[in-house]
């Protein structure tokens, strides 16, 4: 089976879907990937891309099915191992994630950074923080613009208690992508742990403007409200606790 779409109509849909995914319009991307798969159901590239979008939407089991189906069709597809490794991370199967990362790297040696990211995440999950930082740093040296890996290294530093390093990495990410909900949330948590609650509240608010349904940020908003108390009329700030429009 071909890895990439063959028909021009399918390629057009995939191009639209990839643009939507890159713009964080995940639901729109999923709809377009669905249309493409209706035309060419055995396209492993489309299955993996839909899996990535589904996973970012929190639909983990559906994403895992897509990755596994892609690998049944195309067992030599490195990116499918990357996706499945990421899903295993969310299921706390860190040894399985490491195995998939190594398989992907063997099959896709021209793109080592993405698999080093998965190795770093697996090592972090196993509480092997020093080799995790090393894996992330190697990936960043290969591609300094790989903001996902910089973000992951920030998470690792945070678990190590190296808050200054964690903050530096997350600031690097947000300087390039100021509206990305995940690092906004993480910076808010770093500020909260440092006792800078007003800064934390501002970042959680910004994360929810970017992704209003982001559950960790919703929980953090309530927690911060309780910690700060009703210091101002209506709660923490009118901006942070505004009613839904």
pLDDT for position 229: 82
Residue 43 has pLDDT above 70, yes or no: yes
* The predicted structure's pLDDT at residue 228: 87
- The CATH number of domain 178-245, selected from 3.30.70, 3.40.50, 1.25.40, 3.30.420: 1.25.40
What's residue 115's pLDDT?
97
pLDDT band at 245 (very low <50, low <70, confident <90, very high): very low
Is the pLDDT score of 238 beyond 60?
no
Cα 149 to its chain centre, rounded Å, is: 10
Tell me the per-residue pLDDT of 100-138, one tens digit each, with 9 for 90 and over: 999 999 999 999 999 999 999 999 999 999 999 999 999
Residue 29: pLDDT over 90: yes
Task: Show me where the domains of the chain are located.
Answer: 1-75, 80-169, 178-245
- Average pLDDT (210-234) is 82
- Show the 3-state SS of the chain: CCCCCCCHHHHHHHHHHHHHHHCCCHHHHHHHHHHHHHHCCCCHHHHHHHHHHHHHCCCHHHHHHHHHHHHHHCCCCHHHHHHHHHHHHHCCCHHHHHHHHHHHHHHCCCCHHHHHHHHHHHHHHCCCHHHHHHHHHHHHHHCCCCHHHHHHHHHHHHHHCCHHHHHHHHHHHHHHCCCCHHHHHHHHHHHHHCCCHHHHHHHHHHHHHHCCCCHHHHHHHHHHHHHHCCCECCECCCCCCCCCC
Q: State the CATH class of domain 1-75.
A: mainly alpha
Query: Please, are residues 187 and 203 in contact by the beta-carbon 8 Å criterion?
Result: yes
Read off the pLDDT band of 242 (50, 70, 90). very low
Do the two domains 1-75 and 80-169 of this chain adopt the same fold? yes
The pLDDT value given to residue 122: 98
The pLDDT score that the predictor gives to residue 139 is 97
Q: What is the pLDDT of residue 204?
A: 97
Mean of per-residue pLDDT scores for the chain: 92
According to CATH, the topology of domain 80-169 is: 1.25.40
Q: Residues 6 or more apart from 175 whose CB is under 8 A from it?
A: none
For residue 24, name the pLDDT band (cuts at 50, 70, 90): confident
Residue 169 pLDDT level (bands cut at 50, 70, 90) = very high
């Amino acid at each position: 089976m071909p890895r990439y779409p063959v028909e021009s109509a399918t390629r057009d849909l995939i191009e639209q879907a990839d643009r939507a995914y890159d713009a964080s319009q995940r639901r729109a991307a999923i709809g377009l990937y669905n249309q493409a798969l209706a035309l060419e159901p055995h396209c492993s590239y489309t299955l993996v891309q839909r899996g990535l979008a589904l996973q970012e939407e929190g639909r983990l089991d559906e994403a895992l099915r897509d990755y596994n189906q892609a690998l049944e069709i195309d067992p030599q597809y490195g990116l499918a191992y990357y996706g499945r490794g990421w899903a295993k991370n969310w299921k706390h199967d860190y040894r399985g994630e490491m195995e998939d990362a190594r398989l992907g790297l063997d099959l896709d040696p021209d793109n080592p950074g993405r698999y080093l990211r998965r190795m770093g995440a697996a090592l972090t999950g196993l509480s092997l923080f020093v080799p995790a930082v090393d894996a992330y740093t190697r990936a960043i040296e290969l591609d300094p613009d790989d903001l996902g890996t910089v973000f992951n290294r920030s998470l690792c530093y945070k678990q190590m208690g190296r808050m200054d390093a964690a903050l530096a990495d997350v600031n690097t990410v947000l300087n390039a992508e100021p509206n990305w909900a995940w690092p906004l949330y993480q910076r808010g948590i770093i500020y909260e742990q440092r006792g800078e609650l007003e800064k934390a509240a501002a970042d959680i608010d910004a994360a929810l403007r970017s992704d209003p349904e982001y559950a960790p940020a919703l929980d953090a908003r309530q927690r911060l409200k309780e910690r700060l108390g009703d210091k101002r009329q209506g709660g923490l700030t009118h901006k942070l606790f505004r009613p839904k429009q």
